[in-house]
Structure 1
C-alpha cells in the first residue's frame, strides 16, 4: 500500500515553488524599479513582467519535474536537492530567454532578470532547507511515519535494523521480520522487532498490516526467492528494496551502469569523476584560496619575520607528499622545526612536545598557522581546500599494505582540511578511522559538504596538531 503523504508533499513543493517564483518577481520589481538602489530606467508595464513571471513559474515547475526535483526526498541528501534546484533554474532561464527571443520581447531589463533569477534560487533553496528540517523534526517525533518489513532476520537484516534506528529523523519504523529459519532468543526479542512468520507468509502480512516498504536482507543462497517476493510486493502495491549480501564491497552511494545491455553496479562511483563537479570544485578552490591569501597576508608577513628572527634556516618548509592519482608534489608550510641535517631522510613522525620544534614553531603548529602557505598549493592545483590530508611517500608505501582501501584517498585532490580533520582526527589518531572518514567524503562529495567541513573546521579549530 502506497501512502498518500508523498503525493501531498509533491503537490506542496510544486505549488510552493510556483508561489516563490511570483514572490521573487515582486521583490525583483521593487528592488530594480522602486527602491532607488539602481539607476533609473523606464520599465515596461508591471503587467508585462508579471505575465513573464507566470510563464517562468510554469516553466520552472515543468523543468523541475523533468530533472526529478519533485521525486521522494525522505532518503535523499539536501546537497542533491541543492544541485537539482540550480539545474532546474539554469535550464528554465535558458528556455525563458529562448521564448522571449522567439516572440521578440527584447525590452525586459537585464538587471531585473539577474535579480529575479538570484532571488528565485535563493528563496527556493532556503524554504526547501527549512521545510526539510521541519519534516525531519516531526518524523523524529513520530509523525509522517513509514512502516518497513524486513525479509531476512540474519546478520544482514539485524544490521539494517540497528542502522535504521540511528536515523529517527528519516521517519521509518520497522514492524517486524520474516524468516524461514531464525527465531529470537530472550535477549534478541528485547533488542529487535518480532519475527512475524516465514517468507511464505509475506502476502498475509501485507494484507493485514500497514507496510510501506519491504526490505530484502536475504543471504546469497536465498536469492532464488526474490522473483516471488517481488511479485507479491508489487501485487500489494508495496515498494521493494534489496540489500545485496556483498554490500560491504560497495560505496556508500552505489550507482548502476549499463554495460553491453546488462545493468552493473559501479563499485567505486565518485562524484568528482564528473567534469562539471570537478570544474565547480576547482572554481570554488581558486576563489576561496585567493580570498584567504588576501585576508591572511598581514599574518603571513608577521610569521615570515618571526621565523627569520627566531631561528636560522628557510622560512618555507617543502615536503614531498602523495596527491591526486598517486602523483607526488611538494607541500608548503611555514617552517616550525629545526632544519634536518644534510643526508637525513625525512621519515620521522611528529609527536607531542617534539624536541625538533622551535619556540616560535610551537606557536605556529598549535594554532595551525604553519598551514597557511598551502593556499598557494591550492592555487597551483596540487591541493584542494577540502579533501583527504596528503601523506609522505614513505608512509603511503607502509599504510597501503596495512590499511584496507588506503589508496582510495588518492582518487581526489588532497586538502588543507577534510572530513576526518574536522572531526578531530589529526596528529596521534587512528589512521583507519581517518581513511573511513576520507572514503565517506569522497563518495558523498558536494559543494555544500565542503562548506560544512570548512565551517566545522573554523568552529572546532585544528585540534590534535603537534
Structure 2
C-alpha cells in the first residue's frame, strides 16, 4: 500500500522553502542597507521590498510544482535537485524583473535583488543537500523503508534484487517473490527473500503485506499476464514497474516517446540531443577554453621552446581523429616524438619505452602537457572540455567490429578529459571498460557531472603512469 508520509514531506518541503527564502530576504536586506558594507540610498520602504520578495517566494514554489521539484526523488541523484533549483530561480527572477518593469518599480536595488536571488539558490541547495544526506543515513539504518514484491524469480528478478542490495541508501527492501514455476530458490540463491506463491495469488499477497511497489520481471512469453497484474496493483493502490526481458539492450535511462499515438522506447536517449543542453555545454566550453588558454599560455610557451630546442620538426603535431557524428577532424597536440610517416603514426599504438619518443616528449606525455593545444580544438568546435577521448579512424574501424556499442561515443563531441580517464582508463588499458564508462557519461550527462570530472582532473593532477 502507498505510504501516507509523501504528502506530509511535500508540504514540509514547501514550508521550508518559504521559510528559507524569508530568511534570505532578511539577510539580503541587512547586507544591503544595514551592514555598512555597501553604499545605498533608501528610496523604497521596507514593505515594498517585503511584498516583492514574497511574490518571488510564492512564484518559486508554484514553478517548483510545475517543474516537478516537489515530486518524490528517492531514486534520483542530488544533481537533479540542483538543476531544478537553478531552473526555478532563473525563471522566478526573470518573472520578478518583468513584473517590476511592468509596474514601473524602478527604484528597487539591483544589488539587493542579486544578493536575494543568489542567497536563495545557495540556501535551498544547502538545506536540500543536508536533508538528502540525512534521509540517506536513516534509510541505511533501516528507517523509512519501502517494500517491493518481485514477480518472477528467474534470472532477471534475481539480478534486480542483487543490484538493489548494492544501494541501501535508497531504502528499498524486497518482501518476496511470486513465480508460477518455482516454489523455492536454488541453494546458490538461498539468501534471497522467499517465493511467496504464484502470480494468481497477487491480490492476496498485496492485501496481507505492506507492499509499496511491484516489480514485474517476467519473461516475454508471460506478457499476457501483464494486464491482470497491473489491474490488481492499481486496485490495491500499489505502483507497478516493469523490467523488460531485453533490458540488457537498453541504456541506463531509457526514454519513452510517442509516435503516431503509440508509445515507443528510445533505445539510446542522449541528454545532449536537447538544444538547451547543447547550448549550455558549448557556452561553457568556449568560456572555459578561453580562460584555460590564457592561464596555461606560459606553460605552452615553455613547451614550444623545449620541443624546438630538443628535436627537429614542427612544434604542433596534427593527427586525424574521429569526432561528433563520425566526422574526422585534425586534433592538435605538442609533438612528443620524432617525425615519422603518417601511415606509422596513424596505425601504431604508443608503447612503454617507445623509441620514437623524444626525451622532452616523454616529460610532456607523462604530465599531459602535450594535450594543452586541444583547447584550440574546443574553441573551433571539434572537441569539448569533457567527453569520450577521440580515436584514430584506423582503430575506430577496428574497434567497431570487435567492441559492442563502440560507435555510440560519436553521438557527442569528444573531450580533452572524460569519465573513463578519471577512473584510470588511459593509455594501455581496457578499451571495453573505457566504452562502459563513456556510455555511462553519455547517458547520464549533466552540467554538474562535467564540473565534477573537471574538478577531479584538477585535484588528481595530470601525471599518469599509463601516459606514454
* TM bracket (short chain): over 0.9
User: Could you say which residue in structure 2 is the equivalent of 1:412?
Assistant: 412
For residues 448 and 106 of structure 2, what CA distance do their matches in structure 1 show? 36
Task: Give the match's secondary structure for 2:190.
Answer: helix
RMSD between superposed Cα atoms in Å: 1.6
Is the 8 Å Cα contact of residues 43 and 109 (structure 1) preserved in structure 2?
no
For residues 179 and 64 of structure 1, what CA distance do their matches in structure 2 show? 41
C-alpha displacement of 1:458: 2.5
> Higher mean Cα deviation, 59-68 or 175-184?
175-184
Is the 8 Å Cα contact of residues 422 and 456 (structure 1) preserved in structure 2?
yes
Matching of residues 203-218 of structure 1 within 5 Å: 203-218=203-218
Is the 8 Å Cα contact of residues 389 and 418 (structure 2) preserved in structure 1?
yes
Runs (5+) with no aligned partner, structure 2: none
> Higher mean Cα deviation, 40-49 or 315-324?
40-49
User: Could you say which residue in structure 1 is the equivalent of 2:467?
Assistant: 465
User: Could you say which residue in structure 2 is the equivalent of 1:87?
Assistant: 87
Task: Give the match's secondary structure for 1:120.
Answer: helix
User: Could you say which residue in structure 2 is the equivalent of 1:347?
Assistant: 347
C-alpha displacement of 1:27: 2.0
C-alpha displacement of 1:189: 4.5
C-alpha displacement of 1:17: 1.2
Cα-to-partner distance string for 1:331-358 (whole Å, 9 max, x where unaligned):
1111111111477562110111211111
1:361 aligns with 2:357: no
Matching of residues 172-251 of structure 1 within 5 Å: 172-185=172-185, 187-251=187-251
For residues 465 and 12 of structure 1, what CA distance do their matches in structure 2 show? 52
Matching of residues 94-109 of structure 1 within 5 Å: 94-109=94-109
User: Could you say which residue in structure 2 is the equivalent of 1:156?
Assistant: 156
User: Could you say which residue in structure 1 is the equivalent of 2:447?
Assistant: 447
C-alpha displacement of 1:406: 0.7
For residues 400 and 12 of structure 2, what CA distance do their matches in structure 1 show? 50
Is the 8 Å Cα contact of residues 185 and 195 (structure 2) preserved in structure 1?
no
User: Could you say which residue in structure 2 is the equivalent of 1:134?
Assistant: 134
Is the 8 Å Cα contact of residues 148 and 215 (structure 1) preserved in structure 2?
yes
User: Could you say which residue in structure 1 is the equivalent of 2:388?
Assistant: 388
Is the 8 Å Cα contact of residues 5 and 144 (structure 1) preserved in structure 2?
no
Cα distance 1:344–1:431, how it changes in 2: closer, same or farther (>3 A)?
closer
For residues 179 and 449 of structure 1, what CA distance do their matches in structure 2 show? 40
Cα distance 1:297–1:98, how it changes in 2: closer, same or farther (>3 A)?
closer
Number of aligned positions between the proteins: 466
Cα-to-partner distance string for 1:356-413 (whole Å, 9 max, x where unaligned):
1111111111111111111111111110010000000110111111111111000000
Cα-to-partner distance string for 1:261-285 (whole Å, 9 max, x where unaligned):
1111111111001111001001111
Normalising to structure 1: TM-score of the pair?
A: 0.96
User: Could you say which residue in structure 1 is the equivalent of 2:78?
Assistant: 78
User: Could you say which residue in structure 1 is the equivalent of 2:25?
Assistant: 25
Cα distance 1:7–1:342, how it changes in 2: closer, same or farther (>3 A)?
closer
Normalising to structure 2: TM-score of the pair?
A: 0.96
User: Could you say which residue in structure 2 is the equivalent of 1:116?
Assistant: 116
C-alpha displacement of 1:47: 2.1
For residues 145 and 344 of structure 2, what CA distance do their matches in structure 1 show? 63
Cα distance 1:219–1:110, how it changes in 2: closer, same or farther (>3 A)?
same
Is the 8 Å Cα contact of residues 60 and 92 (structure 1) preserved in structure 2?
yes
For residues 22 and 377 of structure 2, what CA distance do their matches in structure 1 show? 45
Task: Give the match's secondary structure for 2:174.
Answer: strand
Runs (5+) with no aligned partner, structure 1: none
For residues 330 and 51 of structure 2, what CA distance do their matches in structure 1 show? 58
User: Could you say which residue in structure 2 is the equivalent of 1:289?
Assistant: 289
User: Could you say which residue in structure 2 is the equivalent of 1:65?
Assistant: 65
User: Could you say which residue in structure 2 is the equivalent of 1:306?
Assistant: 306
Matching of residues 429-440 of structure 1 within 5 Å: 429-440=429-440
C-alpha displacement of 1:55: 1.9
C-alpha displacement of 1:238: 1.0
C-alpha displacement of 1:56: 1.5
Cα distance 1:151–1:343, how it changes in 2: closer, same or farther (>3 A)?
closer
